[in-house]
Chains A and B, each alone.
Chain A
Amino acid sequence: MTESLVKIRNLSKLYPTGGGGFLALSELDLDIPSGAFMGLVGPSGSGKTTLLNIIGTLDNQSGGEIEVLGHKVSTLDAKESAALRAEKIGFIFQSYNLLPVYTVYENVELPLLLLKMPKAQRHEAVMQALTWVGITDKRKSRPNQLSGGEGQRVSIARAMVKLPQLVLADEPTANLDTENSLNILDTMLQINKDTGTTFIFATHDQKVIDYMQRVVTLIDGKKAKDDLKTGS
């Protein structure tokens, strides 16, 4: 039995709004084992991003319990959750969010700078990450000189460079065409196999869903389905 990397019990999230608040997540139970390659799916507004943000300690839950990488999120203070994110969680966004004034290399290097890693070690890690996503030849380019697929590769390299235990990817293929989508999915699956890093996706892209070993469907903030596929 694999130990749970993420453990969620009766989780709820209430966004404060004018009329008493909006319940974006409720009665949610979920266990995600280490090494998973899984997707959160569901219609727009079903709470995928909300859940991903809570798992990523970027947002607080309103009720229930959530444990991430062995830490009870509700008991972490700002410093501890920042440290957890810095060391163990990588993020991939729909719009890549590469910093335009920095080169590909520098963008990937940033998480390591924040970890105060020595330069030689940093160089090695950055080159490794760029190799994984097959983009070493573009390391001196600026983000605006990259294609969409290349941009998302860089953002995968940036998420992977610190060898996190958990990568959270919110709609990573939404801005990509089919070929590029499949490409980066292959890349991530390979990394998942090579490193054992856990990937959690939020998506409604069927191409992505096809790659998932497990698909959790959310509807109106509740878990509607939890499908485990065999093989992939």
Chain B
Amino acid sequence: MLKFVIKGLIRDRSRSFFPVLIVTAGVLVTVFLIAFMSGYIESMVRQNARFDTGHLKIVTNAYAEKISQKPYDLGFIETEAEFQQWKEDFPSVRWTPRIYFGALMDVPDDEGNTVEQGDVFGMAIDFSDPSAVQDIHLNEALIQGRIPEAAGEILLSEELFSKLQLELDSTVTLLGSTLYGAMSFRNYIISGTVSFGVHALDRGGIVTDIEDARAFLDMPGGASEYFGFLPSMVYDDDAVQEIKQEFNAKYNDEDDFSPQMLALTDQNDMGFMLQYMGFALGLITVVFVLIIGIVLWNAGLLNSIRRYGEFGLRLAMGERKHHLYNWLLVEALAIGVVGSLIGAALGMGVIQYFHVHGFNFGVFTQDTSMMVENIIYTNLELKNLLLGIIPGLVSTVLGAMLAGIGIFHRNTAKLFKELET
């Protein structure tokens, strides 16, 4: 009987070709959307982790409260010993200090008179630690010049650099305030320019060595934030939450300057974002199942009108209704399997392409503060392919079930009546 059914399917194009096409298209779109969205989510997590949140970070209680303002004056000072201790306590995480600060940049002419002035956003990292340099992909981000080697050298965002028509190795002055609120200014040499693909940084960012920033801001042995990264560089919320709880249980107390550990999901609404994205992925899948299911349901109904003769005949020959119905589901399943496999295979090709080449999203991310890379790579994962295939199967079977119920509700004699004409 299976052979009989399969023969019918293959020979009757309207029973196979069209439905397979629908399923293929649906699975292709779903698989691709899922791969794209999860690529997008991963990109977002990565970018946030690199530049803003770490996988984990340690800040003071007071800093945590105003974390969006990045108030370095509420940061740590002289915490080298503690930092050493934390590193020893949590060796499964790689720790690195950072300071974020705002300052006024003054571009002087040869005589020292101001030519241009503008706000800059400073990010200080530990240049002596190659991992810290790698964390923000500094080598890749470098456009001109070189990474600072000596004290007093900084990197400037390429955008600002060209806007101000500066030259490499020229001197600029940063004006800011120390941790204690005193006025501070220092001269820096621009050793190179960078472009991170993160709009906030590219608009007017500078990158300096942490020691320079400590001196400039009068934060000896301090940091505004200690970033922690899982060695795999892939965010794992379960692992992170466990570490966070252990740390906070051990070190966090009421004091304003007591250290507090935050997870990536505690910051920038990332927790909500991740949940929301998960929900959106689920929604895409459900919508796909519904749309394809409804299309196939209707196709199935049209088809069964054409096939009433066959159904009536088979019932007259003594086939049971549920038997007939089950075979309809088998037909649907066969279509679902074939369509899903073709769709997944095509989807995999498309995903593979964008996994390698990526989408350039720079144009769209220009005006948003969302931390997403300019180029999104689709996520090539077996799990995502399955997420597309399963609804492909569910929707075909669902469509056939609904269509089949229509047939089921006709009584044998009526079906049989339609045989007579």
What residues make up the interface of A, taking CB atoms closer than 8 Å to B?
A: 49, 53, 56, 58-59, 78-79, 82-87, 89, 91, 93-95, 97, 99, 101-102, 106, 109-111, 113-114, 170
Contact = CB atoms under 8 A, between A and B. Distances in A.
B318 A101 contact: no
A85 B319 CA distance: 9
Contacts of A83: 318
Contact of A82 (B1, B8, B312, B318): B318
Contacts of A84: 318
A170 B318 contact: no
A85 B316 contact: yes
B95 interface: no
Nearest to B415: A58
B318 A87 contact: yes
Which of B1, B314, B419 has most A Cβ within 10 Å? B419
A114 B315 CA distance: 10
Given A97-B309, A101-B7, A91 B320 contact: no
A18 B130 CA distance: 89
8 closest Cβ contacts across the A-B interface?
A: A86-B318, A85-B318, A59-B413, A101-B11, A82-B318, A101-B12, A58-B416, A97-B313
B4 A113 contact: yes
Contacts of A79: 320
Given A58-B316, A95-B419, A111-B318, 10 more contacts: A58-B412, A58-B413, A59-B413, A78-B320, A78-B321, A99-B8, A102-B4, A110-B314, A114-B318, A170-B420
Contacts, number: 70
Contacts of B312: 97
A85 B317 contact: yes
**Chain B interface size, under 10 / 10 to 19 / 20 to 34 / 35 or more:** 20 to 34
A99 B8 CA distance: 9
A111 B317 contact: yes
B419 A93 contact: yes
Contacts of B12: 101
A167 B324 CA distance: 23
B7 A114 contact: no
B421 A53 contact: no
B416 A53 contact: yes
Contacts of B421: 95
B310 interface: yes
Contacts of B11: 101-102
5 contacts: A59-B413, A85-B318, A95-B420, A99-B8, A102-B4
Contacts of A86: 317-319
A114 B314 contact: yes
A114 B310 CA distance: 14
A37 to B, nearest CB: 21
Contacts of B321: 78
Contact of B8 (A58, A101, A109): A101
Contacts of A89: 318
A110 B8 CA distance: 12
Contact of B317 (A53, A94, A110): A110
